[in-house]
Amino acid sequence: MSPDLRVYLVLDPAHTGGRSPLEVAEAALRGGVTVVQLRWKVGPLREMLRWGAALRELCRRYRVPFLINDRADVALALEADGVHVGQEDLPPEVARRLLGPRALIGVSARTPEQAQAAEAAGADYLGTGSVFPTGSKEGARLIGLEGLRAVVRATRLPVVAIGGVNAENAAACIQAGAAGVAVISAITQAPDPEAAARALRRAVDEALAARRLEG
């Protein structure tokens, strides 16, 4: 069964506006996010494990997949639902060997060639971007909506659009063929993360419904 990727929260404790990552995550879950990924770039590993264990339990309560960014070893230690890896990280086939057949393996793919390679390696879904300008990831190169369409056309895997996505432009990503949108600051920097998540979920659901009617 394909994962529900409609609103995919990438939770980075460095980007929660000084608020507790758990409080932001729970608000987002109430608002309707369908996946939570822990992205940990700075800080002690023990802190990552502590936050990760709490987030795993929170996601289980809401029956939403909990993933780890980059670190398959941490995903294994935390009994997370899977891992998301980039082009410079652990190869997806190795992550699969470590985490097993039921794990959810996501791969970042900016080009049709990378998308096809990830599919052949056994990925479950792709993340592609940056679709729009973003301040959450330094040095992110834009692929735009055309780049998103090219990746979608190149693979049978569901594709999540990332990079500068918000409630105003999420529908354009769905219209370009994305299965969902991944966000950081659109939720975690919002004054009301629950309302922000709800607005994103509404925009994505409406765009998906319109696409089904057109198809």
- Catalytic residue numbers? 39, 108, 137
- For 194, the token pair is 């629950």
Burial class of 46 by CB neighbour count within 10 A (0 to 12, 13 to 18, 19+): exposed
C-alpha to C-alpha distance for 52 and 69, rounded to whole angstroms:
11
Contacts 24+ apart (CB under 8 A), 143-149: 143/110, 145/172, 145/173, 145/176, 147/110, 147/111, 148/173, 148/176, 148/177, 148/178, 149/176, 149/177
- For 210, the token pair is 């319109």
Question: Is the CB of residue 173 less than 8 Å from the CB of residue 131?
Answer: yes
